[in-house]
Structure 1
Amino acid sequence: MARLQEKQNPAKSNRKRARKGFHLDMTPMVDLASLLLTFFILTTTFARLQTMEINMPTAQGPNTPIPGKNALNIVLDEADKVYYFFGYPGDDPEVKQTDFSATGIRQVLLAERVKRNPDIVVLVKATESSRFKNLVDALDELKITGTRKYAMVELREEDKQLLATR
């Protein structure tokens, strides 16, 4: 609380009145500020992690074969290289190289050939030299383009041979 302090000097009572000094007690304001700060810290929601839900099949689940005309293979390689081909390695497909730019794999996923076929399944395969960031980027591109059917698949020997002959 504010307190007024008066200094009285009986000898000088005839002269001008002495100035009154005052002292402001800041304790209640500090208490209020700390209570408000505590309240806002405890009630604030911090930034939540952004997660992507992935439904993984069980090992005992059915193994449904995908026809070659409905398969788009995306192979992630070192140095942010992305290879893609339609069909399976036994069909001798044409392997093309692209990247993660907006004119790269996104345009492949938005291409007429992919959008025209509602049964197409994108098979994402990663080499041993690819980085985890590449897999996350590929999954982001699938989400951006609205691809509904995709799977993460192991890279087989046939795929490795196909990439080696490229």
Structure 2
Amino acid sequence: MAELDTSGGGKKDGGKVRTKKKSTRVDLTAMVDLAFLLITFFILTTTLQKPKAMDLTMPDKDEKNNNQLPVPETRTMTVLLGTNNKVEWFMGMPTNPLTAPTVTGFGKTGIRESLLDKGKEVLAKSGKPMIVLIKPSDKSTYYDMVTMMDELNIVGNEQRAIVEISQPEIDLLKRDNIY
């Protein structure tokens, strides 16, 4: 609160009449209390960045519900995750690929460009979207897997599966020095 000092400045023993000097003193205790209450209120009511999670649908582990449909080779792209943020992709089967295995990286000039080009090509030929099989190796990282899923989300591919890698595919990674 504010307080005024009204002392001083009076007439003393025949001297001149002087105006009273007024001194103001503002007590800031209440304002500091209010500021800390507001800061505490906003800290407690503010939500921090919410964690972002990607929805991933996985098949049942029951043997009886394991009804897998055959997938044509012409619609299937296999992506092998190697080391050092490298991927190798091909169309078809690893023993007899329809396209030559290609080593690339992530990003718009890497696997994303291949996904877009082959996706358009498959859609034009068959009228159905491309199916992407992601096969992480034991040398790949979790970061590579998440990045690959992000790339598939960017290009809008909804038909994908995470599959175990086979020995011929590991040999393919070893041949291209990304295992």
Fold conserved between structures, TM > 0.5? yes
- The aligned counterpart of 1:135 is 145
Q: What is the CA RMSD across the aligned residues, in angstroms? A: 2.1
Counterpart among 118, 121, 125 of residue 113 in structure 1: 121
1:5 aligns with 2:9: no
Counterpart among 83, 86, 92 of residue 87 in structure 1: 92
- The aligned counterpart of 1:122 is 132
2:5, 2:23 within 8 Å by CA — same for their partners in 1?
A: yes
Change (3 A) 1:78 1:21: same
- Cα distance in 2 for partners of 1:139, 1:129 equals 18
- The aligned counterpart of 2:105 is 99
2:135, 2:164 within 8 Å by CA — same for their partners in 1?
A: yes
- The aligned counterpart of 2:17 is 15
Specify the code of the residue in structure 2 equivalent to 1:76. L
2:123, 2:129 within 8 Å by CA — same for their partners in 1?
A: no
Secondary structure class of the residue paired with 1:161: helix
Aligned length: 166
Specify the code of the residue in structure 2 equivalent to 1:11. K
Runs of 4+ that moved beyond 6 A: none
Q: Tell me whether 118-127 or 57-66 shows the greater mean CA deviation.
A: 57-66
1:121, 1:150 within 8 Å by CA — same for their partners in 2?
A: yes
Specify the code of the residue in structure 1 equivalent to 2:136. A
Secondary structure class of the residue paired with 2:169: helix
- Cα distance in 2 for partners of 1:6, 1:46 equals 52
- The aligned counterpart of 2:158 is 148
- State the shift of 1:103 in Å: 1.4
- The aligned counterpart of 1:51 is 53
